[in-house]
Amino acid sequence: MDRVALEKTFFELYGNTEEKPALYFAPGRVNLIGEHTDYNGGFVLPCALQYGTYLLIRPNDDNVLRFTTSNFPFRADIPIHHVSQKLGQEWVNYPMGIFEQFTRRLSVPNPLNLSGFDMLFSGDIPNSAGLSSSASIEMVTAFALNDLLGPGMEMIDLVKLSKASENEFIGVNCGIMDMFVIGNGAAGFALFLNCLTLEHKLVPVVLDGFSLVIVNTNKQRGLTESKYNERVEECHQALEALSTHFPARQLGEISYMQFYKIQEVIEDEVIRRRARHVISENQRVLNSVNSLLKGDLQQFGAFMNASHDSLRDNYEVTGTELDTLAEEARKINGVLGARMTGAGFGGCTVNVVKDTVIDEFMERVGEAYHSKTGLIADFYIAIISDGVRKI
């Protein structure tokens, strides 16, 4: 990120005054393992990335919130008292939802003496890649407002506020994982999180001659238009059936052995497979944490492979593009694990690849993927980063 160039754009948009804009950054994230478990009160193991969203922001005296991004042509000037009104499917809804949450939670009207802000967002997270660009925008906005306006919220408050905005304002029934790791990530560590209790700890990721390589399918898909919310409902149905034999608030509270004994109470085979994925994935996260703590990358890679297979067969959220990337990656000697990451139906895979074969990996996987799907994949070497911060 070129701060000088970004500030130049900001001043061209909003004018150069004595008060300089403040700069904030929130990373994207990649989930190493633990997919579709977060909204089921289960375990996840994500990490923050070097890619993310930058925000230049400065107060104005116009009672207007001005939203611009370097990534899309759409921009908006929103009067403060109209902040609760969504603008179709535009990107500005993500930061607008944060403003709406701030004003709602801190009483009304205008509890923070808000006079308006000029804002320029700039992100380097690949579009529609499933690396959580939406949560990155939400968290950078929440962190900046908390810093500039001084309500004194703790990080957990900003995380919960951003999740509420995604659920209530955007209308996506996501869990808390994305916001949590964006707020609490640390360079060199994955975040082991219990999404039910929010207990968490940092787990060192020692790659030692290997790298995390993210591959983007470049298949366009919208999260709210996918079957994400359908899977949430199917998990609710599974929990309702299982709860007749095992009291649980969420599927994540049921161990795999407990599920194995009572799974037949779920009469619908599709719903049973949805539960089987969530509950077995929970166990894979626990096993993966132990593997990383022991420095056993090969075993960790095996759990990644098993995760993808369950997401394909039991949860049915992969699709031709993601399956092709995972299958082709596993053909290469030096790839320890390959799995889809994110909501699915497009987006990315995450792979553990030996450094000496990365060029071969990108060439062979890229060629095979294009041959089979007609799409061109993009490759990113991921660096595990710190969480949201002021720069």
Q: In which element (H, E) is residue 313 found?
A: helix 297-313
**DSSP-assigned letters across all residues of 180-213:** HHHHH-BTTEEEEEETTT--EEEEE---SSEEEE
Give the residues across from 52 on adjacent strands: 27
Question: What is the rounded CA–CA span in Å between residue 365 and residue 380?
Answer: 13
- How far lies 245's CA from each of 248, 254, 259, in Å? 9, 11, 10
CB contact set of 200 (below 8 Å; sequence gap of 6+)? 180, 184, 191, 192, 193, 194
Q: Which residue in 38, 178, 268, 296 is the catalytic one?
A: 178
Residue 130 carries which side chain, given as an amino acid letter?
A: G
Contact 240, 265 (CB under 8 A): no
Q: Is 178 a catalytic residue?
A: yes
For the record, the structure tokens of 149 come out as 């306006």
Strands 43-59 and 116-123: antiparallel
Question: What is the rounded CA–CA span in Å between residue 148 and residue 150?
Answer: 6
Residues tagged active-site: 178
